[in-house]
Structure 1
């Protein structure tokens, strides 16, 4: 369930290569931002399709337009893996927040190969992954990086366990979506698991920090000093008008001149942001997510094979019951809400 790297003792030849390659065994290079803004993609279609303000997509498209290659996380055949995009149209496969731990297996080696061929590569991933690719490639001059403000990531096995309660396997899912702007709802193959006035169990446990991998609660990247050339996230706490916020606003932190280059070449609308308020509204910029007391029981229930719903019912009985009541009342049309996706 934890989805951590494990050394196979039967195959290990004691070469120590994995230890030397691991970013956790190297001195971390973290830098305070020199420039910070909030904003969105000038292309309304890009902004509309994105979870936030579409800044990541705008940066990716501009980077490719200038001859570079983008590497980021995509969902395909039930797996959250990294892939490359070399055309502006290809970056659409990276769009959307993915609240699952992605698997970077083999991608750092591929990035290094492209860098050695003289290609410029933009890598967008979690802070730990950005640190890893920088360490592996020795922060090659042609490498550009964007780290995402991450609150923690569950294993794909957790998502598969949730889906199994509905008779679905993750490998059967063709498309998945975790969020539509400020509306956090899990959606697979165009269908949601909760009525509009409730939150499904997967997103509820995610937002409660219940299902993250153990090391996320001691994340060494949960601070204002960042590993990427730029940092991207949501501009929570923005003082802009609600109508503007509803369309999506991204927070942009720039750590160096490479980052400034990424921002300057993209088609973005950027406005001032209060950095202090931005940090206060994104706790991952000053401390890791706090492990809830229910987490141990939750994982214990899952390992017993009781299922995701029963684990939630055991750990969050009041929320579980409240959602059932709301669902019944909504289906009986006693209370309303936004139209559910059919």
Structure 2
């Protein structure tokens, strides 16, 4: 029974909650505003499934070989609303075009949560970083249901969420996972208090927060807060206070983030994506202040999708400079782009 677990071992991925056949586990907020599993001991049948599915208890040590590139979405609208180069929307569009379903992070009444997307016009809300741990609710259960009927599903989340989902689902040829370069997950409770503060001060409800708005370019991170009455605040203390505290590490992140076991080991995802702020070191012509994504491709399935999408992106070869992406056991590769051919070089 997964109960009274030390907090540094629990990432809140909901795998145990999702797998419990007795519905004896609920996700409840603690005093810091993070969700943890709580077991109803009267309903628990001690089947042990919650312990078996927990990603912390089974950490793969297998080597994998990841390819590292920098990309930009050629669709300027998609790229502009993205945090970096628009890699997520490229892959999401691909999944939707194959009659698939996308699960990524959006807002529900300003609660950061995973949402289901089945239409391309729904992707806009899911683009861009949220910098808050998302509430997963029934996401894992829904994904399993879609996979059983043969649907393609794309899931985007933190490395720990990706591990939790993979432990819950197992191997599935129709599941594509993107995980993110992660600084840690900040408290949904603190985010909620910031939203409440803004609601009261500006006498209107916050309707959307874009943490990496590009109105002033990619190099000048701008927080844009929209209210239901049409008011917008940006480039101000009230707009930036939440993200400033997070990036300066003044905010508490989840206890498990301080001892993260998911970022320094082989990824279970097909792709990892993050900012490539130093694109000028690799390709000066791509350094246009509009955003570039550093992408790691971990699986053959991921490489197949990448190759199918290359005509929709600008790609340049980069040598991986982030040793934490998959750990010391991982071998890295990078792509040599010569004309229309892709050549893989080991490093």
Fold equivalence (TM over 0.5):
yes
Q: Provide the secondary structure at the position in 2 that maps to 1:6.
A: strand
Return 186-195 or 260-269, whichever deviates more: 186-195
C-alpha spacing 1:41/1:28, structure 2 compared with 1 (3 Å): same
Aligned counterpart for 1:273 among listed residues 305, 318, 331 = 318
Q: State whether structure 2 residue 250 is matched by structure 1 residue 217.
A: no
- CA pair 177-254 structure 1, distance change in 2 beyond 3 A: same
Does residue 206 of the first structure (1) align with residue 243 of the second (2)? no
Native 8 Å contact 1:186 1:202 kept in 2: no
Hey, what's the Cα distance between the residues in 1 that align with 2:42 and 2:33? 21
1:252-271 aligned at under 5 Å gives the runs 252-266=295-309, 267-271=312-316
With over 3 angstroms needed to count, the CA separation of the structure-2 counterparts of 1:4 and 1:31, relative to structure 1, is: farther
Which position in structure 2 is the counterpart of 1:188? 225
CA distance in structure 1 between the aligned counterparts of 2:275 and 2:67, rounded to whole angstroms: 16
Contact 2:100 2:152 in 1 (8 A): yes
**Structure 2 portions without partners, runs of 5+:** 1-31, 329-347
Which of residues 38, 49, 63 is equivalent to 1:7? 38
CA contact under 8 A between 1:185 and 1:203: conserved in structure 2?
no
- Structure 1 residue runs without a partner (length 5+): 288-342
Match in the other structure for 1:301: none
Task: After superposition, give the CA deviation of every residue in 1:185-231 in whole Å (9 maximum; x if it has no partner).
Answer: 433216336439x9832112111223211111111122263221111
Structure 1 stretch displaced more, 31-40 or 128-137: 31-40
Report the Cα distance in structure 1 between the residues aligned to 2:325 and 2:59, rounded to whole angstroms.
21
Moved over 6 A (4+): 283-287
- Identify which of 45, 51, 68 aligns with 1:19: 51
In 2, the alpha carbon distance for the partners of 1:44 and 1:225 equals: 33
For the pair 1:51 / 2:83, whether they are aligned, the reply is: yes
Trace 1:17-166 onto structure 2 (pairs within 5 A).
Answer: 17-28=49-60, 32-166=64-198
1:141 deviation in Å? 2.0
1:244 is the counterpart of 2:284: no
Structure 2: distance between partners of 1:30 and 1:192: 48
Relative to 1, partners in 2 of residues 1:226 and 1:149: Cα closer, same or farther, differing over 3 Å? Answer: same
Q: Give TM-score scaled by structure 1 length.
A: 0.74
Q: Secondary structure at the match of 1:135?
A: helix
Q: TM-score, normalised by structure 2?
A: 0.73
Which structure's residues are more often strand, by fraction?
Answer: 2
**Structure 2 vs 1, CA of residues 191 and 8 (structure 1 numbering), >3 Å: closer, same or farther?**
farther
Q: What SS does the corresponding residue of 2:38 show, helix, strand or coil?
A: coil
Segment of structure 1 superposing worse, 3-12 or 217-226 = 3-12
The number of aligned residues is 281
The answer to whether residue 217 in structure 2 is matched with residue 174 in structure 1 is no
